[in-house]
Amino acid sequence: MRRLYLLVPDLESCRVIVDELKGNGIAASHLHVVASLSEHLDGLPEATAWQKTEVAHGIWIGIVLGGVAGLLASMLALTIPPPGMEIGVSAVLGSTVAGAGFGALASAFMKGHEHNRKLVQFDPEIEAGKILLMVDVARSEVDGTQQTIRKHHPEARIEVLKSRR
């Protein structure tokens, strides 16, 4: 998947583009709108915390770091077992999975309050009243989607970045 970032001048332009994209078969779940707090996005697919924050990135970091920590802790327990306990493969696996789960949860809580670093470049224009529309499309549909948008809306600024999905 690729994510198209469209910066459009106003809500009406955004509504027209969203309707055109839906008409071209792009699901509403692949459209995400970000605007300033003063804008009312009635009827538009507002971006969720998943798109506006670093929570997705945080989950992956937590899984990796927590999984490694759980694995290392279980390896230490294998090397120096607690008195009267036998540590087996299932304990190693369980400790690794538990560490990954805890790490994902903890990191998601921390990153859930951090602004998505890919959106920072658009902040000044969003605060000035422009609307950011993020569109997730298959790699093969990027050019066609861009051409459709530019044909009807040459005022839209479009950037393409790889999505984390």
How would residue 37 be classed by pLDDT, with cut points 50, 70 and 90? confident
Express each pLDDT in 41-67 by its tens digit.
888 888 888 888 888 889 999 999 999
pLDDT value at position 50? Answer: 86
35 Cβ contact list (under 8 Å, min separation 6): 11, 41, 126, 131, 132
Domain-wise residue ranges, the chain:
2-52+117-162, 55-111
| CATH code reported for the domain at 2-52+117-162 | 3.30.70
Q: Which of 56-60, 84-88, 148-152 has the highest mean pLDDT?
A: 56-60
In a 3-state reduction of DSSP, which class is residue 6? strand
Read off the pLDDT of each residue in 66-87 and give the average, rounded to a whole number. 89
CA distances from 28 to 134, 144, 153, 157 (A): 11, 18, 20, 21
pLDDT at 165 over 80: no
Q: Does the structure show a pLDDT above 70 at 95? A: yes
pLDDT at 98: 96
Nearest residue to 8 (alpha-carbon basis) of 152, 163, 164: 152
Rounded mean pLDDT of 82-92? 85
* Amino acid at residue number 27: A
Confidence band, pLDDT 50/70/90 cuts, at residue 162: low
CA–CA separation, 72 and 64 (whole Å):
12
For the segment 122-133, what is each residue's pLDDT rounded down to a tens digit? Answer: 889 988 989 999
User: Does residue 32 register a pLDDT over 90?
Assistant: yes
Tell which wins on pLDDT, 106 or 49.
106
CB 68 within 8 A of CB 92: no
Q: E strand or H helix at 48, and its extent?
A: none
pLDDT of residue 66: 96
d(CA 21, CA 76): 54
Q: How confident is the model at residue 163 (pLDDT cuts 50, 70, 90)?
A: low
